[in-house]
């Protein structure tokens, strides 16, 4: 017995009035309970995260689902009424670190830059695998029996761990079509129709078409640039290049992705003096409006900005996304007067925009001209037809608005018919106009319904040089529809593309490479391309420095290497040496692509791995694991593992 404040207290007992610290055992148990509550709270938190970016949506949903499987276990853990072993506390702390990593990753995939997440798909996948590894390691030493955890909850945890193991062993796959589009869009060239088509497809896949979407992406890029603090300048440059291309495609003025983060240009001009009311800013440019106008939905925009939006073929309200019932613009006099009064009161200079002496009137304003040209496509007079199809070709390249109007005016059917016309010049104009129209996603199916592919393939075989190039580009664009991939192969369209690859101009070879890549995403077309002799010219083109398509060619060879006949043709010692040279001296992307091809070949033939070792690839692969791209590092590590196994084979 002991005395405390005149009372008798049993040794080990703590009275209510005693204000002493808790004993070490009880204190430790309370800490453990706090960790469990924190873990449960984090799972509830990630459950409430909204929509994830499309490029990582499936993996994010899987991670959230697997975390939720741990909830019943943690809740049972929380309800335990006895001290918890030290081993369990260690597991809980490891699990907390894993959950923090998971939450950070899911947040990035929820509100991070869409362009960054697309370019860094492989790196993000590595982060998912890292999170899974941390969770699995954290649960390795959990003493379930000592804790008294029920068999049912233990089975749930083991189910989740089994799912993690399957996820980590899943083959490394890529959306090759998406990858090729990224390569084409990141090209410095902007004059090819294939480039425009790639930018459009990427904009659709990444949901970066509207002003609101691009505005949100710009802010996300600014946050990313700020977080990087000047590191990874090359990657940042690629992201901003794509952002500018998306803005240009959507006819949105560039908003300066590298400006001070989260600070719109107009607000920066006067931030130290006065804050501009939000309603005075144009939703498109975020600049103060000088000539505000109202569109059909009731939203107000700066006249010049919304007119540019409409002239680019858009028929929706940029802010709300609603369809515009008419395209009339009504001056918002009330708002304009308020802006002027505010400017006078706050000594804010409003710069009046001078009217252009020669305002640019887009051709689309004269719908009658396009209707007339479409009618003349069916004229019985050769000169009239030739003139009409040539003008349609020019107009269809100028803007999305023209492409939509030509299609809606019934221009597709007569254009497709002219693909088989005896006059070679008319055929060339027709196939080029068809290519231009196909850039608009909604036109692809309309064109395909008219069965243009046989005629396009015939032009590819026998047309002029320019006609052949544009035929290849047209097949590339139309083969974005899976059914057209098969159709081109069935109609023997692969051999003339391979011939263009061998004998075409630099531009023709580029169009052939992009078309063949797209077509070879169809399994049957891989065999057709190999039979047509695609491998030899591809290997030859790797030596052509004027072509500047090393990454695209290596990606196409990677596709072909998934076919047994392709591997046999590609897997020559001279090509292995070429791959080693790229891994040694190429750009970071060259090294990544070359390493991926070596991995594909070596996974099926250990002799090729040994040959690469003879050519001195080992030290260069080690360098890639240290300083290569994220995907390049992964591929290089996989090749090094293959080499270790190959050297052990007697």
* Dihedral pair phi/psi, residue 302, rounded to 5°: -70, 135
Main-chain phi, psi angles of 378, to 5 degrees: -100, 15
Confirm if 447 and 406 have CB atoms less than 8 A apart.
no
Q: Tens digits of per-residue pLDDT, 629-640?
A: 888 888 999 999
CB atoms within 10 A of CB 2: 10
The pLDDT tens digits of the residues spanning 459-502 come to: 999 999 999 999 999 999 899 888 999 999 999 999 999 999 99
Is pLDDT above 90 for 274?
A: no
Which of 15-24, 163-172, 315-324, 515-524 is the least confident region? 15-24
Position 357 pLDDT exceeds 60 = no
At residue 317, the pLDDT reads: 83
Q: What pLDDT is stored for residue 529 in this prediction?
A: 95
In the predicted structure, residue 426 carries a pLDDT above the cut 90: yes
Q: What is the pLDDT of residue 484?
A: 93
pLDDT at 642 over 60: yes
CA 629 to centroid of chain Cα atoms: 16
Residues in the chain: 650
| 227 or 454: which leads in pLDDT | 454
Question: Taking the CA atoms of the chain, what radius of gyration do you get in angstroms?
Answer: 31
Q: Is residue 363's pLDDT more than 50?
A: no
| 6 confidence band (pLDDT: 50, 70, 90) | very low
> CB–CB of 479/519 below 8 Å?
yes
Q: What is the pLDDT of residue 32?
A: 59
Burial 90-112 (b: 16+ CB within 10 A, else e): ebbebbbebbebbbebbebbbbb
What is the rounded CA–CA span in Å between residue 602 and residue 449? 43
pLDDT at 578 over 90: yes
Residue 175: how many CA atoms within 13 Å on its side-chain side?
Answer: 13
Q: Report pLDDT digits (tens) over 69-113.
A: 888 888 888 777 777 788 888 888 899 999 999 999 999 999 899
Average pLDDT over residues 191-205: 73
pLDDT at residue number 411: 92
The predicted structure's pLDDT at residue 163:
76
pLDDT of residue 318: 80
Greater model confidence, 403 or 267: 403
How far is the C-alpha of 235 from the C-alpha of 634, rounded, in Å? 18
Question: pLDDT for 236-258, tens place per residue?
Answer: 778 888 888 888 777 665 444 44
What value does the mean pLDDT take over residues 584-612?
A: 91
Q: Which of 143-157, 165-179, 260-274 has the highest mean pLDDT?
A: 143-157
- pLDDT score, position 19: 41
User: Tokens 């499987």 belong to which residue?
Assistant: 69
How confident is the model at residue 160, as a pLDDT?
81
Q: Which residues pair with residue 608 across a beta bridge? A: none
Q: Which helix (H) or strand (E) holds 4?
A: strand 2-4
| pLDDT > 60? residue 423 | yes
Lowest mean pLDDT among 391-400, 406-415, 562-571: 391-400
Query: Which pLDDT tens digit goes with each residue over 507-545?
Result: 899 889 999 998 998 889 999 999 999 999 999 999 877
Specify the pLDDT at position 491. 95
The pLDDT assigned to 258 comes to 40
Residue 471's pLDDT is 94
Determine the Cα–Cα distance for residues 486 and 484; give it in Å rounded to an integer. 5
- Supply the pLDDT for residue 319: 76
pLDDT at 398 over 70: yes
Judge whether residue 616 has pLDDT over 70: yes
Question: Which of 154 and 107 is assigned the larger pLDDT?
Answer: 107
Above 50 in pLDDT, residue 368? yes
Quote the pLDDT of residue 253: 58
pLDDT at position 439, please? Answer: 83
């Amino acid at each position: 017995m002991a005395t405390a404040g005149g009372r008798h207290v049993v040794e080990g007992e703590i009275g209510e009035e005693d204000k002493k610290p808790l004993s070490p055992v009880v204190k430790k148990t309370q800490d453990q309970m706090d960790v469990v509550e924190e873990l449960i709270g984090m799972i509830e938190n990630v459950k409430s995260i909204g929509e994830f970016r499309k490029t990582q949506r499936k993996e994010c949903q899987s991670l959230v689902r697997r975390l939720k499987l741990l909830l019943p276990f943690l809740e049972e853990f929380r309800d335990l009424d006895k001290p918890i072993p030290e081993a369990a506390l260690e597991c809980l702390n490891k699990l907390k670190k894993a959950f923090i990593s998971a939450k950070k990753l899911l947040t990035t995939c929820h509100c991070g830059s869409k362009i960054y997440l697309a370019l860094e798909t492989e790196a993000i996948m590595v982060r998912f695998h890292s999170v899974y590894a941390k969770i699995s390691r954290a649960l390795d030493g959990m003493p379930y029996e000592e804790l008294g955890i029920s068999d049912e909850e233990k089975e749930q945890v083991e189910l989740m761990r089994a799912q993690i193991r399957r996820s980590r062993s899943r083959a490394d796959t890529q959306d090759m079509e998406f990858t090729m589009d990224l390569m084409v869009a990141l090209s410095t060239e902007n004059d090819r129709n294939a480039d425009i088509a790639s930018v459009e497809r990427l904009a659709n896949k990444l949901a970066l078409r509207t002003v609101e979407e691009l505005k949100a992406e710009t802010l996300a890029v600014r946050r990313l640039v700020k977080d990087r603090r000047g590191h990874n300048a090359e990657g940042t440059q690629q992201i901003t290049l794509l952002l500018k291309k998306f803005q240009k495609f959507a006819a949105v003025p560039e908003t300066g992705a590298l400006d001070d983060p989260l600070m719109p240009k107009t607000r920066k001009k006067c931030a130290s003096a006065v804050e501009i009311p939000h309603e005075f800013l144009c939703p498109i440019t975020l600049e103060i409006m000088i000539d505000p106008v109202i569109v059909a939905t009731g939203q107000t925009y700066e006249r010049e900005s919304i007119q540019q939006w409409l002239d680019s073929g858009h028929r929706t309200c940029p802010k709300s996304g609603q369809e515009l019932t008419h395209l009339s613009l009504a001056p918002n006099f009330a708002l304009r007067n308020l802006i002027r009064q505010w400017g006078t009161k706050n000594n804010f200079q409003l710069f009046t925009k001078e009217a252009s002496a020669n305002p640019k009137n887009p051709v689309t304003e004269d719908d009658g001209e396009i209707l007339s040209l479409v009618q003349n496509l069916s004229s019985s007079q050769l000169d009239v037809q030739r003139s009409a199809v040539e003008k349609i070709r020019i107009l269809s390249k100028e803007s999305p608005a023209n492409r939509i109007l030509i299609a809606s005016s019934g221009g597709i059917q007569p254009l497709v018919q002219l693909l088989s016309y005896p006059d070679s010049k008319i055929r060339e104009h027709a196939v080029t106009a068809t290519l231009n129209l196909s850039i608009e996603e909604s036109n692809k199916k309309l064109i395909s319904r008219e069965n243009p592919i046989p005629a396009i393939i015939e032009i590819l075989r026998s047309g002029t040089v320019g006609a052949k190039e544009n035929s290849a580009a047209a097949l590339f664009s139309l083969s974005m529809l899976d059914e057209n991939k098969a159709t081109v192969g069935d109609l023997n369209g692969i051999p003339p593309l391979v011939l263009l690859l061998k004998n075409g101009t630099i531009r023709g070879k580029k169009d052939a490479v992009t078309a063949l890549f797209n077509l070879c995403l169809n399994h049957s077309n891989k065999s057709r391309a190999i039979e047509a002799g695609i491998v030899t010219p591809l290997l030859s083109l790797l030596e052509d420095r004027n072509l500047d398509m090393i990454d695209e060619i290596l990606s196409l060879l990677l596709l072909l290497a998934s076919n047994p006949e392709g591997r046999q043709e590609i897997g020559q010692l001279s090509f292995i040496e070429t791959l080693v040279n790229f891994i040694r001296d190429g750009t970071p992307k060259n090294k990544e692509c070359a390493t991926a091809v070596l991995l594909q070949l070596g996974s099926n033939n250990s002799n090729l791995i040994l040959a690469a070792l003879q050519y001195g690839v080992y030290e260069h692969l080690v360098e890639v694991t240290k300083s290569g791209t994220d995907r390049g590092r992964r591929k290089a590590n996989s090749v090094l593992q293959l080499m270790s196994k190959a050297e052990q084979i007697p």
